[in-house]
Amino acid sequence: MKVNFLGYESEIRIGKYKTEDQTSISLIDTEDGEPVAIATVCIPKVKVNPGEVIIKDYSENEGILDVLIEAGVISEPKRYIKTGYINCSVCDLLISN
């Protein structure tokens, strides 16, 4: 599956964070194979249900939530997790690797 984020046509890659049992979503440029963004964030000691992801929609990732929802990669936010001054969206992952 591909999405366009920040003007880059990107392939979606699903992975796992090594330190926690949380799923990651990476965007990889289809032209040169370079990383474009990591759409998720790993929050230690936060439990998420199987099939859920925590989306980083701030700083350099601002707007990624809407892009991934529109592309059918994730659901609308189900709930939010506060981390520092930011609320991160918890969404269902709608695709598989």
Provide the number of structural domains found in the chain.
1
Q: How far is CA 23 from CA 12, 31, 32, 43, in A?
A: 13, 25, 24, 11
Domain assignment of residue 74, yes or no: yes
Residue 38: inside a domain, yes or no?
A: yes
With a cut of 70, say whether residue 97 has pLDDT above it.
no
pLDDT of residue 93: 97
Has residue 97 been placed in a domain?
no
- Residue 30 domain-assigned (yes or no): yes
Establish if 88 belongs to a structural domain: yes
Per-residue pLDDT of 15-65, as tens digits, reads 999 878 899 999 999 999 999 999 999 998 898 999 999 999 999 999 999
DSSP alpha helices (H): ranges in the chain? 64-70
Domain that holds residue 7: 2-92
What residue has token string 């936010």? 77
Strand partners, 77: none
- 78 within a domain of the structure (yes/no): yes
